[in-house]
Homo-oligomer: A and B are copies of this chain.
Amino acid sequence: MKRILRMAMVGGGQESFMAQFHRQAAQLTGRIQLASGAFGSTRHRSFEGGEALELPRDRVYGAYRDLLRKEATLADDQKPDFVVVSAPNNLHYPVAMAAFDAGFHVFCEKPLTTTLDEVLNLERKLNDKQLLLGLALPYTGYPMVRQARALIQEGRLGNIRRVAVEDPQGWLATRLETAGNRQAGWRADPRRVGPSGCMADVGSHGAYLAELLTGLSITEVSADVRACVAGRQVDDDGAVLFRLANGALGVLWASQISIGETGNLKIRVYGDKGGLQWELDRPDLLTLYGASGNAETLRTSMPPTPQQAMPPAGNCTGLCESLAYVYNQFADGVLAFDGKRELAPAYPSLAEGIRGVAFVDAVLRNTHPESTEKWTKLAV
């Protein structure tokens, strides 16, 4: 009979936004079951969340440390196979550290941590514990993102010269965080979101996509980021000039105050032989440019894995499908676990987490009021 993996969830109570997509993506795999959880920021909220999710009361905990301690002692046929961290950013690090200490594999929302020190500590811990870490970067789950990466790796674009990435969103164009909006509340609170708002939440996706597609690291940045909404304490919009390892030029623009925009992550990459464009608005298309000036549009038509069918062409791939793809990859990893952490897993993991934190760290150093340097190198 089918091996169903059990997951424990930290965070993701009723006020949570992303957690519901984690649960749906897990459901969609057909082989992951929510077994237990510490939901929400208070004991009360956690039990409320567990009840709404119809979990048995003895598998719901008021605090994540209780969950980790107790669940680690369960019998093999009850014990969670991994812990999902879908709590505000400041909790990613302590929960992941504690979960590793308790012997659990971890699947974590991004950003992996809010500071460079934390992410390097986490690296040491992971090397020590030899467990698995998955990171919820869903874009690799879109077939056309993978195809774009493959085409670039094959040399279809030649030597990469220019990358342009953008993701304008507008939901924080007003000061929602003081108007009772919980999502905005923690995302604009430096104690919970960390030192960066928009760059960590939105811009890091773009930076990840630029590195994923080109296979090149971002080496240095020159940025202009700001809190545009009066009184806000973290950046809500910014643009970054960047350079890739081969010297190629990059520009990235991310925003939470582009009023009326609902988010359309878009990336364009140009080499000396060709160019390409992918955007979230039409995730199943990939446009290729060649020297002729004509464009070729590839359209998704094949299922990507044995575990998961992609919808027939004409029906677009949604976030659930793309996140489920990453969950499926992670589930494969958990089932194949042989006591050692994977150094180059198929799913986004530690390396991608470090890159994301280092990118935001460099942007913040570059735009620090006391900084005068034009270009700031990424620390790792």
Q: Which of A81-89, A127-135, A274-282 contacts B (4 or more CB under 8 A)?
A: A274-282
Question: Could you say how many copies of this chain the assembly holds?
Answer: 4
Contact check: which of B2, B166, B281 meets A282 at CB < 8 Å? Answer: B281
**For residue A248, which residue of chain B has the nearest CB?**
B228
Contacts of A290 in B (CB 8 A): 259-260
The answer on a CB contact under 8 Å between B164 and A299 is: no
Whole-angstrom distance between the Cβ of A9 and the nearest chain B Cβ? 13
Q: In the bound complex, how far is the Cα of B255 from the Cα of A281, in angstroms?
A: 24
Let me know if A339 is at the binding interface, CB within 8 A: no
The answer on a CB contact under 8 Å between A1 and B318 is: no
The answer on a CB contact under 8 Å between A261 and B289 is: yes
Residue among A224, A263, A288 with max Cβ neighbours from chain B (10 Å) = A224
The answer on a CB contact under 8 Å between A296 and B296 is: yes
Let me know if A264 is at the binding interface, CB within 8 A: yes
Let me know if A17 is at the binding interface, CB within 8 A: yes
Let me know if A30 is at the binding interface, CB within 8 A: yes
Q: Give the contacts of A245-275 with B (CB-CB under 8 A).
A: 249, 251, 253, 255, 257-265, 268, 270-275
Q: In the bound complex, how far is the Cα of B158 from the Cα of A174, in angstroms?
A: 12
Let me know if A46 is at the binding interface, CB within 8 A: no
Contacts of A349 in B (CB 8 A): none
Q: In the bound complex, how far is the Cα of B311 from the Cα of A290, in angstroms?
A: 21
Given A20-B309, A162-B258, A249-B239, answer yes or no on A264-B318 (Cβ-Cβ < 8 Å). no
The answer on a CB contact under 8 Å between B321 and A272 is: no
Could you list 22 examples of A-B contacts with CB < 8 Å?
A1-B54, A2-B55, A20-B309, A27-B28, A28-B320, A164-B168, A164-B253, A170-B291, A224-B241, A237-B249, A238-B249, A239-B251, A259-B270, A260-B295, A263-B312, A280-B315, A294-B296, A294-B299, A315-B319, A316-B317, A318-B321, A320-B320
Known A-B contacts: A27-B27, A223-B241, A257-B270. Give 7 more (CB < 8 A): A1-B56, A20-B309, A28-B28, A259-B273, A262-B299, A263-B313, A373-B374
